[in-house]
Amino acid sequence: MSDLPYPTRQNYWNGRPQPSSSTAFQTIDPSTAKPLADVHTASHADIDAAIASAASAFPSWSTTPPTQRARILLAAVALLRARNDELARVETHDTGKPFSETSTVDVVTGTDVLEYFAHLVAGGGLNGETTQLRPDAWVYTRKEALGVCVGIGAWNYPLQIALWKAAPCLAAGNCMVYKPSEVTPLHGMLLAQVFSEAGLPDGVFNIVNGGGEVGAYLTAHPSVAKVSFTGQVATGQKVAASAAGGMKYVTMELGGKSPLLVLEDCEVENAVDGAMMANFFSTGQVCTNGTRVFVPEGMKERFEKKLLEKMEYIRAGDVMDHNTNFGPLVGKVHYEKVMGYIKHGVEADKAKLLYGGPEKPVFPDGTAEALKQGFWVRPTIFTDCTDDMRIVREEIFGPVMTILTYKTVEEAIERANDTSLGLAAGIFTRDLNLAHTVVAQLQAGITWINSWGESPAEMSVGGWKQSGVGVENGRRGIEAWVRNKSTLVDMSGSVASVFSKL
């Protein structure tokens, strides 16, 4: 019996936790670097068993009427909402994100998507189309479930990402084997248990834990019909290549280096709030972060003054304290990566440090000792940046804002698009005609006008260019989990044939 704060996490298939025949690893609390729980790694035999469990559940689940599937998913919604704070606490300990954030965003936005897709399929969202060809012939289409689908998640929104994948997958009648990131695996078994408690048949949702090798085995597995992946571009390339070997369907939600355009006529305070949300929420560990902030030359001073005033509202500290709104980075490896970029910005890029830097953040009295070993960095702002700097070109995935000035809007658009990534983009202006004109020219799949970061269930989101393939959420989100079958019906009694007697 371990004396860690959380019980051991096992893999989960056939509707129950399954002890692994393989090894275990530990997950840590990033705010203190202390271990939280042992987690069983899935062996190849375990993964095969989880996939077999999903495959045996598929015939019955895929033919369960959508309204009945929806009823079960809505029961899970009620359980998740009732356990919001308990699940948020788990997410806070596993990711280091403050409880003030996980209790109001992570569980809420994941659950909203489950509710959305349950209602969508109950309301006819899986209906096909009928096309009358002639009086005695027509075509109808059906949206059919794919089969066993794999979900592979990143560590920044563990429960939310799992739900964003499971919700449309299950609602459409598929079964899922989900692999959480090994950095933040605590939620996986809990979510599977919630689904079982809600009445989901055994095998419809399964969890396998482990690192990249578990993911690689899943993506190459011959019984898998689709892979939905969230993570880095480089990993996404490997996953897509592996899935292509079996002609599997894929959805790829990858990284970004998104531009935020501040226009001369905007409400400066609103734009500053947007830029702060786009860089420091979740300690900058958000895929859609607007890390390249383009500001008109003439506004730079005003913008930075207001920004510096507001930076004082960022509060690092005990992650369970309701007043804390800034947590540590997720772990040691990521800490070293982000810190490497901050140092590179100062030493090699020679960008001007406006705020923060490589030193540890200052904590309120009484918390400093416990947090000393944690993976904390200071929110950091570089200004007078140029497009060729590494901190401007590469995804850092930490709380590092870069400010770039521009002369004309046309120039800002061109520079904003000068990247191989295309996840998100946004603009702050009071001129709505101009806003729409500019948004139409930005090369990104997710865009905001006078806002940043909100991603409701109704909004389809997905990256352009190297940032991804396909979308999640919204009405279009369900299409990624079904395949089309077209049927032509002819009632004329005579097949149009070329093989007639001369």
Q: Contact residues for ligand NDP (CB under 6 A)?
A: 152-156, 179, 181-183, 211-212, 215-216, 219, 230-232, 235, 238-239, 253-256, 287, 395, 397, 423, 463, 468
Q: How far apart are CA 391 and CA 382, in angstroms?
A: 9
Shortest approach of ligand NDP to residue 215 CB, angstroms?
Answer: 2
**Looking at beta carbons only, is 59 or 211 nearer to ligand NDP?**
211
Beta bridge partners of 251: 228
Q: How far apart are CA 19 and CA 2, in angstroms?
A: 15
Is residue 367 exposed (0-12), middle (13-18) or buried (19+ Cβ within 10 Å)?
middle
**Looking at beta carbons only, is 235 or 383 nearer to ligand NDP?**
235
Shortest approach of ligand NDP to residue 237 CB, angstroms?
Answer: 10
Beta bridge partners of 483: 144
**Looking at beta carbons only, is 178 or 406 nearer to ligand NDP?**
178
SS3 441: helix
**Looking at beta carbons only, is 162 or 266 nearer to ligand NDP?**
162
Shortest approach of ligand NDP to residue 456 CB, angstroms?
Answer: 14
Catalytic residue among 91, 101, 115, 253: 253
The DSSP bridge pattern shows strands 400-406 and 292-296 to be parallel
**Looking at beta carbons only, is 65 or 211 nearer to ligand NDP?**
211
Examine the residue annotation and report whether 253 is marked as an active-site residue of this protein: yes
Shortest approach of ligand NDP to residue 153 CB, angstroms?
Answer: 6
Buried b (16+ CB within 10 A) or exposed e, 130-146: eeeeeeeeeeeeebbbb
**Looking at beta carbons only, is 54 or 239 nearer to ligand NDP?**
239
Six-digit token string for 227: 């892979």
Shortest approach of ligand NDP to residue 199 CB, angstroms?
Answer: 28
Q: Are 260 and 275 in contact (CB under 8 A)?
A: yes
Distances (CA, A) of 407 to 4, 36, 202, 307, 427: 56, 51, 60, 21, 16
Shortest approach of ligand NDP to residue 74 CB, angstroms?
Answer: 25
Q: How far apart are CA 10 and CA 210, in angstroms?
A: 11
The one-letter code for the residue type at 255 is G
Q: Distance from first CA to last CA of the chain, Å, rounded? A: 86
CA atoms within 13 A on the CB side of 254: 25
**Looking at beta carbons only, is 188 or 374 nearer to ligand NDP?**
188
The DSSP bridge pattern shows strands 259-262 and 424-428 to be parallel
Residue nearest to ligand NDP (CB): 215
Residue 168 CB partners (closer than 8 Å, separation 6+): 113, 117, 472, 473, 477, 478, 480, 481
Shortest approach of ligand NDP to residue 107 CB, angstroms?
Answer: 16
Q: Report, as residue numbers or ranges, the catalytic residues.
A: 253
